[in-house]
Amino acid sequence: SLLVFILAYAVTWLFFGLIWWFIAYCRGDLDHLEDHAWTPCVNNLNGFVSAFLFSIETETTIGYGHRVITDKCPEGIVLLLLQAILGSMVNAFMVGCMFVKISQPNKRAETLVFSSHAVVSLRDDRLCLMFRVGDLRDSHIVEASIRAKLIKSKQTQEGEFIPLDQTDLSVGFETGDDRLFLVSPLIISHEIDERSPFWDVSRHQLEKDDFEIVVILEGMVEATG
């Protein structure tokens, strides 16, 4: 990312510096360096290095001092406008790239672990589907919330076949238990009651059915937001 960041600016400065030098070369400015009666496109531009420096000053708006464009160079004015516009676009693009890079904590996601298996067991004399989630890092995840979806093929009463039907599994949305405070590993529980899609499923049918449960844990990293 740092290499792309540096190259985006360096290549742009070099490219426009070459064009500024090429304009001065084609107009004959480099052949009239000591001619005070000659009006060049850019004052005090005497080679590629000075053209490169003028390109940096133009794009970064550092400010003109020794080198400045004159009003006798229409092609230079057009190039100045193009470089100013392109420079703003490069700035916006690179700032956006760095922001996206920072706001996607891929390494942070690897430290959130789920239990290898989910179990169906009695809890407070109620059948529950349970699994465990834990955070391995010391820095906490702020406003963490969890939800689960059952993905399973379904056929409606009218005979329509839905290959990937999604059904919400309640993991405490009504009671607020879906809001987690991950200071230690927590057991997430889905109660198998009349509203659960597993209510009419027997143990043997559960072992044979083809379905998938997707669990989504969302939150903000405390350090970076």
Specify the CATH class of 112-221 in words. mainly beta
Where are the chain's structural domains?
A: 1-103, 112-221
Q: How confident is the model at residue 224 (pLDDT cuts 50, 70, 90)?
A: low
Q: How confident is the model at residue 35 (pLDDT cuts 50, 70, 90)?
A: confident
pLDDT, tens only, 101-155: 776 666 666 788 899 999 999 999 999 999 999 988 877 788 889 999 999 988 8
Q: What is the largest CA-CA distance in the chain?
A: 100
Q: How confident is the model over 167-177, as pLDDT tens digits?
A: 999 998 888 88
d(CA 156, CA 185): 39
pTM attached to this predicted model:
0.54
- 213-224: average pLDDT: 83
Q: In this structure, what DSSP letter does residue 182 have?
A: -
Sequence-separated (6 or more) residues with CB below 8 Å from residue 21:
45, 47, 48, 51, 52
Question: What local confidence, expressed as pLDDT, does residue 64 receive?
Answer: 66
Q: Which pLDDT value is given to residue 49?
A: 92
Span 1-103: which CATH code?
1.10.287.70
